[in-house]
């Protein structure tokens, strides 16, 4: 079933670039088949098909697009066993996690189907004509969100399903009415191809233009760079490293016509523990923290990588609990050999830094070979971190850095010295949370999501979720890549002045045929536009 | 009353850079006083005061911010006569236009006051906790828009009031809760200072931090460049040239922390006339077009600079009407000598281009001196324009280029060859509009606003207005700089997970104390969150 080929025009396409394979990170074994990198011509063809597909797909009624999204969801469920097996081989992630991730991926498609079927997301606004207004009459003015054009999506290494070929970026871009070109992550090509085939089958089954979806493989970074530079591409969705995201942002900004970029580039996710909470439930926090920073072998964008504890005996007790948990833990396989090597480099640098103490480390992997990492616990002082914020740099893996703060003043200074984050968490008693409004206010400027008495891992796909935050967490703090608001990244408002009813999009027609919420002359309503009242004959 | 100084910390501040004065474009005379360019230290001080003001101003309740916006509106009305007089001297714009522009400026502040007082713009969303959900419970998740941080605003040359110191960018950024630093346009320093003083007085009278607003003068571009690069600045609003906007976009993209840029950089605003409409009301269209492309001496972002006419006798009649109108018109004073010189260069290039015919020109200015321009009418063929799209480059001034198209096929090719536009207009009978769905669809991809049987000049400040469009019309097609949607440029969503009621922003508190529209578990409502129903005792 796996062809080792890109998918263009709904068909497998043998590339002419260098070849690569998936690699089982647990063993280092190559996984068949070999994948050929897409050529420049392949990319041109995929882009021009997407461009051709746009006028048709963007005008496909929302009800049909919703049907398509549900078809994809069903198609993924139908191949779940195969996808989970292959993803396990390629990523080293356990079956239960991958089953959960597949369910989430499927759910995302169904959630966006619901959003576009309900239809009110388009922000339809109608300002009725005022022909009698003085000094000048007002024309009839209406606006609604319309899709941007073909979107480039980059699969992430750490979520081979939920942030990859049919991940949240793809689901939201398709939901908004945009064709999608996915650049597969080379760490899980087989998973990508299986999922890409399923999406392609749904495109065909739903009678959509073949250019609505394409999947491109590349051993390196050339296809991705060319994709972001391609004039047909109108926006970019990316989850990955800061270096990779930043490089693509530069390409997008240097285009003759710059395009919006939505890069999610990770975060250290600071977690603050206040003294009374520590006293009341230190052991519980130790457990929650350990589970959170080791979840998925610490390869989560939302892993809490900085834990701020006060000084004193209660903190010592929490640290002792954490040490025990870390020391009892064994090594687990990481996603790829490259991630494992980066992790090891980060660990060596941190271990050799005299300002940081390594408090505990889990048992190393017993066997030889494979990309394994054991949990680790580090500690430094607030003073050290304030003196050199670079101490806090993200290590992608199952470790965290405890930062001991002296007092509230130092706590505030530490909060204010943070760079942009996806999340920031605070553990405190009700009285402490109430008393620390200043801390929460400072963190609000730093992060997209603030969490009280919880842990940042586990990102809910819901209407209020924000998985975003100030740079360098993401390229655009005004966007989210998780939750229903993610659809807004891939749409732009278009205004229609003095239009005939027949020429208006359905969302803006007087009678409100889609029954959506609209703003009419400043009022939210699901009503139709009232028929004009005839002027009384005088 | 005019000091010739920047306004920092609510006080006039003598700059140390080079000095300049306003110049009356009708006479070339310098206008007192001399203005001193802000120094780098002035900018640092203004930026750090804005940064200090942010935590206070961003948490000032919307009701108080609305009061402040109305205070600014009242303050501007109180000095209307003085502002209109000075703006007339500095811009050459007639009194009636400036009175109208002042009214619009005042109105914008009042409209945004209304928007934030009503309060629903913040897109409050609440997903209630589901503690019993399987396999995992759902936390309580809420999100709301929060201000970005200090915003840099660049005054425009062509709207000394409505797109300048207290223009739409300033009004919307302040409304969203951001301090504003304005870089005044050097063409109207006195107008800028008068308006800046009024805003400053309102900041003081309303008890807001002095850093909420600052005004910086500069003879050149250094202060603007430094402002966009400054780490305190979190977003940029700009109306001006493509070259200027693009230069600032590059600076913003190269920052260690890139920031969103909202540049409105002009447009040629194509206007298509279909054959039957031409037949039915050619003379009326000639009049409407002439008024539109000569409005404000053609110095409008929305000036129709490209007019597509079919071949044939009816088009000849319209052209003849237009020629007459142009030939009967006299020269008018332009905004600045520099704009006039650019205009003259553009005219010479177009006149010397053998692919373009000059059909008519108004009478030149009789006197000597002054920056005057007369209306002009050019014509080329669709074939010429398709062969060299650069023929359509914007000439900022009172001329337009008629493009004669052979047939519907050429019309479509011309529409598809357009670059990004603020507006695109189509004149047609009802039957023609209905039959040209393909043309409207093509234009939808090119422009932010589509107009049927109307003219693009005259941009309504309303809820549905979009004054934006694909690059190079603007830097971000997802935004508008006119209308209430402009506020969304300067806010970002923040998510609150598992928060105590007391720590939530008012917009997200259970009882809905502000009475705003919210999305609760996917449903729009103004209701409070219902008290949880106690589980029945079994």
> Predicted confidence band at B15 (pLDDT cuts at 50, 70, 90)?
very high
Distance from CA of B177 to the nearest CA of A (A): 13
pLDDT in tens, B221-244: 999 999 999 999 999 999 999 999
Residue with tokens 């409100």: A512
In this structure, the strands spanning A235-239 and A261-264 are parallel
Angle at B494 between CA B493 and CA B499, to 5 degrees: 145
- Predicted confidence band of residue B536 (pLDDT cuts 50, 70, 90): low
Name every residue whose Cβ is closer than 8 Å to that of residue B189 and which is 6 or more positions away in sequence. B4, B20, B21, B22, B35, B90, B217
Task: For chain B, say whether A249 makes contact (Cβ under 8 Å).
Answer: yes
Interface test with A, best of B236, B437, B493, B499 (most A CBs within 10 A): B493
Instruction: Give the model's pLDDT for residue A534.
Output: 58
Q: Other C-beta atoms within 10 Å of B219: how many?
A: 17
Provide, as residue numbers in chain A, all residues whose Cβ is less than 8 Å from the Cβ of B451: 139, 497-498
CA atoms within a 13 Å half-sphere pointing along the CA-CB vector of A366? 2
Chain B hits for A126, CB-CB cut-off 8 Å, are 464
What pLDDT score was predicted for residue B537? Answer: 54
pLDDT at B466: 98
Q: How many residues does chain B have?
A: 538
Write down the pLDDT at residue B1.
Answer: 87
Check if A311 is active-site: no
Q: Across residues B370-387, what is the average pLDDT?
A: 97
Cis peptide bond N-terminal to B33, omega within 30: yes
- A374, with CB counted inside 10 A (0-12, 13-18, 19+), is buried
Mean residue pLDDT of chain A comes to: 96
The 8-class DSSP code of residue A373 comes to E
Closest residue of chain B to A115, computed from CA coordinates:
B522
User: Looking at the predicted structure, is the pLDDT value of residue B248 above 70?
Assistant: yes
| Distance between CA atoms of residues A473 and A264, nearest Å | 6
The answer on pLDDT for A47 being more than 80 is yes
pLDDT tens-digit series, residues A438-497: 999 999 999 999 999 999 999 999 999 999 999 999 999 999 999 999 999 999 999 999
CA distance, residue B31 to nearest chain A CA (Å): 33
Q: For residues A273 and A264, give the distance between their C-alpha atoms in angstroms, rounded to a whole number.
A: 26
- Residue reference for tokens 């480059």: B393
| CA-closest candidate to residue A57, choices A208, A206, A203, A198 | A208
B26 sits in the region (left: phi over 0; alpha: psi -120 to 50; else beta) called alpha
CB contact under 8 A, A139 and B454: yes
- What percent of chain B shows pLDDT beyond 90? 96
The yes-or-no verdict on residue A538 having pLDDT over 70 is: no
pLDDT at A536: 58
Local confidence band at B266 (pLDDT 50, 70, 90 cut-offs): confident
Give contacts of A475 with chain B, Cβ < 8 Å: 258
A211: DSSP letter = G
- Mutation for B interface: A102, A457, A495, A509, most B CBs within 10 A: A495
Distance from CA of B367 to the nearest CA of A (A): 34
Rounded-to-integer distance, Cα B147 and Cα B231, Å: 16
- Residues in chain B within 8 Å Cβ distance of A131: none
Packing angle between helix B313-328 and helix B275-294, nearest 10 degrees? 20
A107 in contact with chain B, both atoms CB, cutoff 8 A: no
**Token output for B506:** 């008012």
Q: How far is B502 from chain A (nearest CA, A)?
A: 7
Which residue out of A90, A261, A301, A394 is catalytically annotated? Answer: A301
Tens digit of pLDDT for each residue in B58-93? 999 999 999 999 999 999 999 999 999 999 999 999
Band (A135; pLDDT cuts 50, 70, 90): confident
Say whether A494 and B450 touch across the interface (CB within 8 A). yes
- Residue B535 clears pLDDT 70, i.e. is over it: no
DSSP string, A471-526: TTTBS-TT--SSSGGGGGGGEEEEEEES--GGGS-GGGSTT-TT---EEETTEEE-
DSSP assigned state of A273: E
Site of tokens 């003081």: B204
> Which pLDDT does position A496 carry in this prediction?
98
Flag whether the pTM goes above 0.95: yes
Asked if B494 and A466 come within 8 Å (Cβ–Cβ), the reply is yes
Closest-CA residue to A43 (of A169, A215, A220) = A215
Identify from B136, B453, B495, B518 which residue to disrupt to test chain A contact, counting A C-beta atoms within 10 A and taking the largest count. B495
A435 vs B: CB within 8 A: no
Whole-angstrom Cα distance, residue B510 to residue A264?
A: 31
Q: Is the CB of residue A174 less than 8 Å from the CB of residue A143? A: no
Task: For residue A112, list chain B residues with Cβ-Cβ distance below 8 A.
Answer: none
Task: Tell whether omega for the bond before A488 is within 30 degrees of 0, i.e. cis.
Answer: no
User: What is the average pLDDT across A14-22?
Assistant: 94
Q: Report pLDDT for B368.
A: 83
pLDDT band at B531 (very low <50, low <70, confident <90, very high): confident
| Interface check A158 vs B, CB under 8 A | no
Handedness of CA B165, B170, B174, B178 (dihedral sign): negative
Indicate the residue of B440, B463, B498 with minimum beta-carbon distance to A452: B498
A511-519: average pLDDT:
98
Say yes or no for a CB contact (<8 Å) between B464 and A126.
yes
Chain A partners of B450 at a C-beta cutoff of 8 Å? 494-497, 499
pLDDT in tens, B176-207: 999 999 999 999 999 999 999 999 999 999 99
The number of C-alpha atoms within 13 Å of B360 and in the hemisphere containing its C-beta is: 20
| A258-306 confidence digits (pLDDT tens) | 999 999 998 999 999 999 999 999 999 999 999 999 999 999 999 999 9
CB < 8 Å to A507, chain B: none
Instruction: Please tell me the predicted confidence (pLDDT) of residue A532.
Output: 65
What pLDDT, on a 0 to 100 scale, did the predictor assign at position A470? 98
Task: Output phi, psi for A218, to 5 deg.
Answer: -160, 135
Q: Which two tokens stand for residue A367?
A: 């066997």
Q: Which residues of B are catalytic?
A: 264, 301
Q: Are B484 and B111 in contact (CB under 8 A)?
A: yes
- Burial class (CB within 10 angstroms; exposed 0-12, middle 13-18, buried 19+) of B107: middle
Buried b (16+ CB within 10 A) or exposed e, A446-481: bbbbbbbbbbbbebbbbbbbbbbbbbbbbbbbbbbb
Interchain pair B524, A524: CB under 8 A: yes
Which residues lie across from A7 on neighbouring strands?
A: A12, A215
Burial class (CB in 10 A: 0-12, 13-18, 19+), B222: middle
Chain B 31-60, CB below 8 Å of chain A: which residues?
A: 55, 59
Contact B503 A441 (CB under 8 A): no
Query: Hey, of B257, B442, B464, B524, which one would you mutate to test binding to chain A, going by the most A CBs within 10 A of its CB?
Result: B464
Q: Are strands A523-525 and A518-520 parallel, antiparallel or unpaired?
A: antiparallel
DSSP output for B180-239: EEEE--TT-HHHHHHHHHHHHHHHHHTT--GGGEEEE--SSSHHHHHHHH-TT--EEEEE
Please write the tens of the pLDDT for every residue from B437-462: 999 999 999 999 999 999 999 999 99
Cβ–Cβ contact B458 with A under 8 A:
yes
Please name the helix (run of DSSP H) or strand (run of DSSP E) that holds residue A324, with its range, or none. helix A313-328
- Give the nearest chain A residue to B130 (CA atoms): A460
Q: What is the bridge-based pairing of β-strands A332-333 and A372-373?
A: antiparallel
- B107 to chain A, any CB pair closer than 8 A? The answer is no
Interchain pair B503, A136: CB under 8 A: no
What's the pLDDT score for residue B135? Answer: 86
Q: What is the ipTM of this complex?
A: 0.97
Closest residue, chain B, to A488 (C-alpha): B478
Label the pairing between strands B261-264 and B270-273: unpaired
* Beta partners for residue B497, in sequence order: A451, B141
Tokens linked to A176: 């908004």
Contacting residues of A for B143, CB less than 8 Å apart: 464-466, 485
Q: Which two tokens stand for residue A137?
A: 């009459």
Catalytic residue among A193, A264, A394, A432: A264
CB contact B451 to A (< 8 Å)? yes
CB atoms within 10 A of CB B505: 19
DSSP one-letter code for B130: B
Q: Would you say residue A533 has pLDDT above 70?
A: no
Can you point out the beta strands (E) in B229-370? 235-239, 261-264, 270-273, 306-310, 332-333, 357-361
What is the DSSP pairing of strand A376-381 with strand A399-405?
parallel
B338 touches chain A (CB under 8 A): no
Residues of chain B neighbouring A430 (CB-CB closer than 8 A) = 500
Q: Which of A55, A480, A498 sits opposite B452 (nearest CB)?
A: A498
Residue numbers of B between 255 and 314 with CB closer than 8 Å to A: 257-260
């Amino acid at each position: 079933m796996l062809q080792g080929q890109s998918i263009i025009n709904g068909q497998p396409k043998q590339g002419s670039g260098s070849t690569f394979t998936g690699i089982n990170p647990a063993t280092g074994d190559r996984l068949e088949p070999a994948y050929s990198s897409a050529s420049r011509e392949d990319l041109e063809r995929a882009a021009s098909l997407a461009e051709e597909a746009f006028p048709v797909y963007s005008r496909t009624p929302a009800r049909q697009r919703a049907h398509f999204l549900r078809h994809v969801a069903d198609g993924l469920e139908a191949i779940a066993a195969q996808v989970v097996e292959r993803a396990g081989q390629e990523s080293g992630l356990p079956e239960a996690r991958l089953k959960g991730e597949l369910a989430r991926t499927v759910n995302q498609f169904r959630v966006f189907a619901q959003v576009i079927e309900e239809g009110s997301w388009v922000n339809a606004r109608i300002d009725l004509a005022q022909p009698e207004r003085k000094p000048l009459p007002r024309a009839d003015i209406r606006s609604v969100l319309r899709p941007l054009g073909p979107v480039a999506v980059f699969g992430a290494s750490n979520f081979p399903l939920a942030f990859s070929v049919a991940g949240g970026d793809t689901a939201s871009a398709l939901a908004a009415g945009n064709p999608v070109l996915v650049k597969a992550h080379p760490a899980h090509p087989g998973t990508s191809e299986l999922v890409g085939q399923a999406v392609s089958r749904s495109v065909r089954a739903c009678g959509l233009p073949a250019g609505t979806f394409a999947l491109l493989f590349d051993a390196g970074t050339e296809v991705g760079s060319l994709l972001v530079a391609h004039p047909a591409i109108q926006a970019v969705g990316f989850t990955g490293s800061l270096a990779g995201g930043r490089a693509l942002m530069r390409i997008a900004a240097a285009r003759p016509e710059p395009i919006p970029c939505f890069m999610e580039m990770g975060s250290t996710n600071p977690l603050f523990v206040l003294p009374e909470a520590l006293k009341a439930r230190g052991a519980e926090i130790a457990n929650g923290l350990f589970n959170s920073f080791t979840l998925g072998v610490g390869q989560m964008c939302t892993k809490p990588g900085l834990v701020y504890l006060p000084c004193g005996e209660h903190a010592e007790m929490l640290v002792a609990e954490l040490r025990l948990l870390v020391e009892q833990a064994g090594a687990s396989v990481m996603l790829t050999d490259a991630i494992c090597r980066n992790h090891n480099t980060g660990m060596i640098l941190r271990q050799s830094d005299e300002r940081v103490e390594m408090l505990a480390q889990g048992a190393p992997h017993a066997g030889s070979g494979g990309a394994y990492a054991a949990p680790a616990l580090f500690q430094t002082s607030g003073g050290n971190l304030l003196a050199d914020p670079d101490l806090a740099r993200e290590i992608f893996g199952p470790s965290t850095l405890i930062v001991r703060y002296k007092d509230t003043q130092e706590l505030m200074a530490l909060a204010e010295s943070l760079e942009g984050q996806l999340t920031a968490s605070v553990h405190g008693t009700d009285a402490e949370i109430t008393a620390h409004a200043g801390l929460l206010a400072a963190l609000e400027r730093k992060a997209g999501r603030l969490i009280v008495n919880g842990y940042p891992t586990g990102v809910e796909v819901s209407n209020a979720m924000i998985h975003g935050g100030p740079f360098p967490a993401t390229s655009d703090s005004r966007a989210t890549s998780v939750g229903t608001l993610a659809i807004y990244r891939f749409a732009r408002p278009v205004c229609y002045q003095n239009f005939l009813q027949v020429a208006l999009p359905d969302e803006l027609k007087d009678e409100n045929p889609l029954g959506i919420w609209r703003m009419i002359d400043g009022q939210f309503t699901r009503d139709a536009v009232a028929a004009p009242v005839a002027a009384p004959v005088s």
